[in-house]
A and B are shown apart, each in its own frame.
Chain A
Amino acid sequence: MAAAGNKLAANSIGWLMIGYCAALLPLFVHLPVWMPALAGLTLFWQLQIYRNKITVPAKLLKFLLVISSVGMLFYSLGSLFSLRGFVGLLCLAFCLKLLELQAKKDLYLLVFLGCFVSACQLLFSSTMSAFFYALICILVFHGCLITAQLQSQQQNGRSGQRGKVSAVLKLRWDSSHWRIIKSVLVLFVQGLPIAVVLFLVMPRIGSLWQVPINSSVAKTGVSDSLSVGDISRLNQDSSPAMRVTFKTKNKPDNSQLYWRGMVLADFDGKTWRRDTKISSTPVSAVQRSQLYQYATGPTAQTYSYQIMLEASGQNWLYALNTAEVENQQIRQWQDYSLTRSTVLNSRFQYQLRSHLNFKANPQTLSAEQFQLYTSLPSNSNPASRAMAEKLATQYSDPRRLIDALMRMFTSEFSYTLEPGKLQPANPIDDFLYNTKRGYCEHFASSTAFVLRAAGIPARIATGYQGGQWSSDASYLLVTQAAAHAWVEVWLDTQGWVRLDPTTAVAPQRIERGATRFLAQMQSATGLNAGINQWAFLRQMRLRLDGINYQWHRWVLGYDNQLQYNLVKQLLGGVDAWRIALLLLLATVVTAFPIAAVKLWRSRITMSDINLKSIARLEKKLLRLGLSREKGETLACFLQRSASHSTENKHVLTQLLIASNQLLYGPQQHANNTDRERIQQLLKELKY
């Protein structure tokens, strides 16, 4: 770099500009709309400078450009001390520095900036494709570094070049590009083993200081309250909500897969909400010990599994009821619902054990709790209330009352995704007496209302139901479409019991899973059936999701815990020396092929040439009727030959000297002359 001068070759600029466009492109979504325009402007400007059409901008102009664009960024984002502000500033620096591209040091700075910009897209998206895209960007910038080293061959700098942009930038394909791509790929592939090992064993130490986080994570998922309309919107959303891997071989039936999230106990006549008191009372020691007793008992139906929950922007977690938690980050409340101490801004992975048929020992509900779980606003939905009272007098046994209610749903009600609007003042009256069409939310909410009105404690649980098994059945994918709501009812003999009124109306939804069921529903109603209808596409989607899941689990979710387990499993223990040994091994794995291939090959070719030349010699002597015997050295053979044929004695003696020189001479470079000498001497042989 010292010798090649500081002029930039067209090749370098071409590679840099490709990297520039590629690195900025995915970030434009997160940046103000004028950013692409600025990036395009500087690119065009630099191209014109390079083609000698415009001169380099004056200092004052550059200064004004910096000030005004930073001001605009501040104006557009409101604050620069956010993640977007930080990335915006970085992109601004990248765009504006491009104008100053003149010498090699500018190129290097731009390359490093470009690597950052490429990495920054991973702050917004952590999909596999985003990662590989960023990787390719970074490799392009490394290619740019290589062009800077190779540019000595193309001394034709930037002087007086005009014409087409593609010609000026050497964008057309030629062998030099291929050479650079090859070099970069070789560097990348050879570096891969070390990178993987570093990734696996380097300790994660966690955030060093508070950083502005990305606040734009979409708050999808089940919301913290339930009122009409919420869940129907989610039904169309087939994005993943969570993925579950079961540790045990046997897996629960689809009808058992109720991923319970929140428990809603407060009702104001329209909306169900969490009860602040219940959801802030931790699970009691009695409850714990009951669960523990049950878990060790013979009838336990226990599943151990790992859930990876997508970023939800909320802090509650999902589990099969009733879950047993050992994670310090997770808290369990009196109603067995789970929350994490902080909001999920990124994927969260946790392990649980659930006892599906656990029933809390029949215990009486405290008066206070009974009051809570049967309370209703006094003035709402009078018709439903009347119906409940009628049912209560008809059936003294709560179970028979529930059966009657379910029978009513089965016979008179239908499941639909478009129930239409309900009368806002008394929505449950409207549903039960007029529309009679709805989905899980309507059924759950009206059931809970009727039960409460009949004096039976009830509450609503929300979460997901079912899931799709991956093609190799290794994990379960739960999409947002599986969002569901059901009822939990208190029976004196059994405690809290799950009651899903939707099964009474549309049993297939539970048996076959929401996705397929809803797809059928949609196509039956003549709606756009969407991707779900196509079995093949669904398969593809599942397979893709399988890859994606492993990606999330092993790459994104790789944390200290996983690291510890893996290293322990691989190395049989977690000691510094074992890790050092692994690193050493990786180094050897990397270094050995490079060294072996390059050094070895060169040696072999060297002796190959010598051996060829000696083989030629033997062939010639064979024509004289002389053949080398087994175990006879070349020297002995030549000596014997010399004594044999008096005619060629001199030549053969010379050959002996030359071949000795060739094989045992000190310097390799002399070999050429030795070989030539042997060739010459062979021509002098007389037959």
Chain B
Amino acid sequence: MSLSLKKWLSSHYQTWLSRRLPAQKQHRLQQKNLFIFPSLLGASYFATISIFWLLGTNYDNNLILALCYLLISIFFVGIFHTYLNLHGLALRVTDAKPIYAGELALIELCFTRSGKRQHNSISIGWDSSHRQIIDWQGEDKVLIKLPVRVLQRGLFVPPRLSIKSYYPLGLLRCWCELAMDTTVLVYPTPVKCDSPVISSSASELSETQGSSQSISGQQQEFQELQLHRSGEPLTQIAWKQYARTGVLYKKHYADYASDISALSWHNYPGVESEMRLQHLCFEALELATQQRPFSLQLPGVELAAADTKQHLNAVLSALALYQVNADVSSQERV
């Protein structure tokens, strides 16, 4: 019951927040997007004030009452200080380098301020586990790289950036949750295919499989026959053997090498599609380090062979964005 209520509340809060503070390239912290409320410590401060008041009233002690009123006014002034500690900051995303899924995305933010005011102990983070603290004294602007863990390839939209500060006394919490209009390109995690890779050159299809096999990279001869499992491409079936024995075998090749490698979606029969992309990513990186040209073929995507840096980026982007559609990019901001 309470859980569902909580859920309902938080979902309403999120919709309200996204209406009030839509995603923007840059934000300026001001009255519209800053919230402020007493912290738990602030509540205990008020308990302290009440006890001061009781003490002063019961003992008819004007001095203790004076201290009590002083504490109240310090709290009051603290509201301004806490608020102004965040007010006037402007921030934008300056850099969001592509990463591989599973890594920490380091999104670089640039903070500028109006005027020369100090901004102390501001805690910033995309999520609660990777927070950083800015203590801003002299510099004109502050560049800060904020990590956030990304698990899925595609276009990563960071969650709302939370900025909060308790400065100066910790009695109040001033915070804001900003949606930054930025995305991080997330490549698939490069994963080496445990089973040898089949590569297909333009002319022929070759296949490798069998984890027990030790394979030298330069072989391309047929090595053995294996039992065909349903779902594997029909092109690999050794029809001659089938005619002879009535059993479906597939041809198994050790490796393949050629000057131009072709990375293809079809090289990994029977492998789950995300996995294929990860294997392709690994291969692409391998080939790029060896500075060998390669092409990429995905269903609906064809990239001609090249060995430049740009080509690698294009390939990786294609892998990252393969079949990434609206449901990823319009992912609910949290």
Binding site for B on A (CB under 8 A): 1-4, 108, 112, 115-116, 119-120, 122-123, 126, 130-131, 134-135, 138, 142, 145-146, 148-150, 152-153, 183, 186-188, 190-195, 198-199, 202, 204-209, 211, 213, 346, 555-558, 587, 590-591, 594-595, 598-599, 601-603, 605-606, 667-669, 672
Which residues of A sit under 8 angstroms from B70, Cβ to Cβ? 135, 138, 188, 191-192, 195
Shortest distance in angstroms between A125's beta carbon and chain B's nearest beta carbon?
9
Q: Flag whether B202 is at the interface (Cβ < 8 A).
A: no
Given A145-B169, A149-B170, A187 and B81 touching (CB < 8 A)?
yes
| Cα(A142)–Cα(B97), bound, Å | 43
Given A3-B133, A146-B168, A152-B121, A187 and B66 touching (CB < 8 A)?
no
20 of the cross-chain contacts (CB-CB < 8 Å) are A108-B41, A112-B44, A116-B48, A126-B61, A146-B169, A150-B120, A150-B121, A152-B133, A153-B133, A187-B168, A187-B169, A191-B70, A194-B69, A194-B73, A194-B76, A211-B58, A601-B117, A668-B28, A669-B92, A669-B110
Which residues of A sit under 8 angstroms from B128, Cβ to Cβ? 2
Interface residues of B in 144-192 (CB under 8 A from A): 166-171
- Chain B residue nearest to A193 (CB atoms) is B73
Q: Flag whether B72 is at the interface (Cβ < 8 A).
A: yes
Given A1-B41, A138-B67, A152-B135, A599 and B88 touching (CB < 8 A)?
yes
Binding site for A on B (CB under 8 A): 26, 28, 39, 41, 44-45, 48, 51-52, 54-55, 57-67, 69-74, 76-78, 80-81, 84, 87-88, 90, 92, 110, 112-117, 120-121, 123, 125, 128, 131, 133, 135, 166-171
Which residues of B sit under 8 angstroms from A590, Cβ to Cβ? 73, 76-77
| Cα(A206)–Cα(B128), bound, Å | 49
| Cα(A115)–Cα(B110), bound, Å | 41
Shortest distance in angstroms between A617's beta carbon and chain B's nearest beta carbon?
22
- Chain B residue nearest to A600 (CB atoms) is B115
Which 5 A-B residue pairings sit nearest by Cβ, starting from the closest?
A602-B115, A191-B73, A194-B73, A198-B69, A602-B114
- Chain A residue nearest to B167 (CB atoms) is A149
Does B66 lie within 8 Å of A555, measured CB to CB? yes
Does A134 lie within 8 Å of B114, measured CB to CB? no
Does B73 lie within 8 Å of A123, measured CB to CB? no
Which residues of B sit under 8 angstroms from A205, Cβ to Cβ? 57
Which residues of A sit under 8 angstroms from B131, Cβ to Cβ? 3
Does A195 lie within 8 Å of B114, measured CB to CB? no
Does B63 lie within 8 Å of A191, measured CB to CB? no
Which residues of A sit under 8 angstroms from B166, Cβ to Cβ? 1, 149
Other A-B contacts than A112-B44, A188-B70, A208-B58, 8 sampled, CB-CB below 8 A, are A146-B167, A150-B121, A188-B74, A194-B76, A211-B59, A668-B90, A668-B112, A669-B112
Shortest distance in angstroms between B90's beta carbon and chain A's nearest beta carbon?
5
Shortest distance in angstroms between B60's beta carbon and chain A's nearest beta carbon?
6
- Identify B63's interface contact among A122, A146, A198, CB under 8 A: A122
Most buried by A among B28, B78, B113, B121: B121
Shortest distance in angstroms between B62's beta carbon and chain A's nearest beta carbon?
6
| Cα(A115)–Cα(B117), bound, Å | 30
| Cα(A669)–Cα(B65), bound, Å | 48
Does B117 lie within 8 Å of A191, measured CB to CB? no
Most buried by B among A4, A134, A187, A595: A187
| Cα(A602)–Cα(B84), bound, Å | 11
Does B69 lie within 8 Å of A195, measured CB to CB? yes
Shortest distance in angstroms between A186's beta carbon and chain B's nearest beta carbon?
8
Does A598 lie within 8 Å of B84, measured CB to CB? yes
| Cα(A211)–Cα(B169), bound, Å | 33
| Cα(A669)–Cα(B111), bound, Å | 9
| Cα(A626)–Cα(B33), bound, Å | 46
| Cα(A291)–Cα(B241), bound, Å | 141
Most buried by A among B45, B80, B168: B168
Which residues of A sit under 8 angstroms from B117, Cβ to Cβ? 598, 601-602
Shortest distance in angstroms between A6's beta carbon and chain B's nearest beta carbon?
13
Does A119 lie within 8 Å of B52, measured CB to CB? yes
- Chain A residue nearest to B169 (CB atoms) is A145
Which residues of A sit under 8 angstroms from B66, Cβ to Cβ? 131, 195, 199, 555
Which residues of A sit under 8 angstroms from B167, Cβ to Cβ? 146, 149-150
Does B170 lie within 8 Å of A1, measured CB to CB? yes
Which residues of A sit under 8 angstroms from B69, Cβ to Cβ? 194-195, 198-199, 202
Which residues of A sit under 8 angstroms from B113, Cβ to Cβ? 602
Which residues of A sit under 8 angstroms from B62, Cβ to Cβ? 126, 199, 555-558
| Cα(A556)–Cα(B62), bound, Å | 6
Given A126-B61, A594-B77, A594-B80, A4 and B170 touching (CB < 8 A)?
no
Shortest distance in angstroms between A668's beta carbon and chain B's nearest beta carbon?
6
Which residues of B sit under 8 angstroms from A108, Cβ to Cβ? 41, 44, 170
Does A134 lie within 8 Å of B76, measured CB to CB? no
Shortest distance in angstroms between A156's beta carbon and chain B's nearest beta carbon?
15
Does B73 lie within 8 Å of A667, measured CB to CB? no
- Chain A residue nearest to B120 (CB atoms) is A150
